[in-house]
Homo-oligomer: A and B are copies of this chain.
Amino acid sequence: MTIKHNVSDSVIRRLPRYYRFLGELLDSGVERISSKELSLRMGLTASQIRQDLNCFGGFGQQGYGYNIAELHSEIEGILGINNKINVVLIGAGNLGLAIASYMNFKQRGFKLVGIFEKDPQKVGKKIRDVQIYDICDLEKICDKLSPTAAVLCVPKDVAKSVVSDLIPLGIKGFLNFSHYDISLEHSDVYVENVHISDSFMTLGFKLRQPDNHKEDL
């Protein structure tokens, strides 16, 4: 599997969706699919699908299309699902608990190795076999667990300070639910922001506009 040097962000962000659709097709027993057929199911153009896939290699066959099992497994490889990344979760409030309880980390290529929380009521408990540690022991425990990614489910100010603590401990990537803008101060780590309140406002804008802002994918 050869990956073209600089694959654009737009393409990368579509990969999980391809993976999802192909997984469903696989489960429903379909064997092959053409870019045209897939484009109809996903609401994309066939051109875009072929362009996207060809960033990573020629997985199709002229006159036939794509073998679903093979393409699914190729994208799994591209996303690196099999090579698990150790991740810690910071903050066991409602959102942190939701993610710790429901997220299928394994299926997304991660292994949740620890949860950190300051509330002594919660410290010491377990969520699905994952220990909740005292945030004060962050350094000690991280040295042991050696995570390389962190999920931030804490308020902005806590996020800011915990990021400064985590980077020296070897954290290279953040899934950031806070409003702290990590990349502005730390340019050497990977950040995925999930700003739920921004999504609310964007939806609100669209709802109030008479115009056509349907769709988004």
Interface residues of A (CB under 8 A from B): 3, 5-7, 9, 12-13, 15-17, 19-20, 41-43, 78-81, 83, 85, 93-95, 97-99, 101-105, 107-110, 148-149, 172-175, 179, 181, 183-184, 187-209, 211-217
Contacts and interface: CB of A to CB of B under 8 A. Distances in A.
A3 to B, nearest CB: 7
A184 B24 CA distance: 15
B109 A172 contact: no
A80 B204 contact: yes
Copies of this chain present:
2
Contact of A43 (B13, B15, B183): B183
B189 A108 contact: no
Contacts of A192: 199-200, 202-203, 206, 216
B201 A217 contact: no
A103 B13 CA distance: 26
A64 to B, nearest CB: 25
Given A83-B208, A93-B102, 17 more contacts: A16-B195, A19-B201, A41-B184, A43-B184, A81-B201, A85-B207, A94-B94, A95-B95, A109-B200, A149-B204, A149-B207, A175-B200, A175-B203, A190-B214, A191-B203, A192-B203, A192-B206
A79 B203 CA distance: 9
16 contacts: A12-B213, A16-B195, A78-B205, A80-B205, A97-B98, A103-B196, A103-B197, A109-B200, A148-B207, A172-B207, A173-B206, A190-B213, A192-B203, A192-B216, A193-B217, A194-B199
A79 B20 contact: no
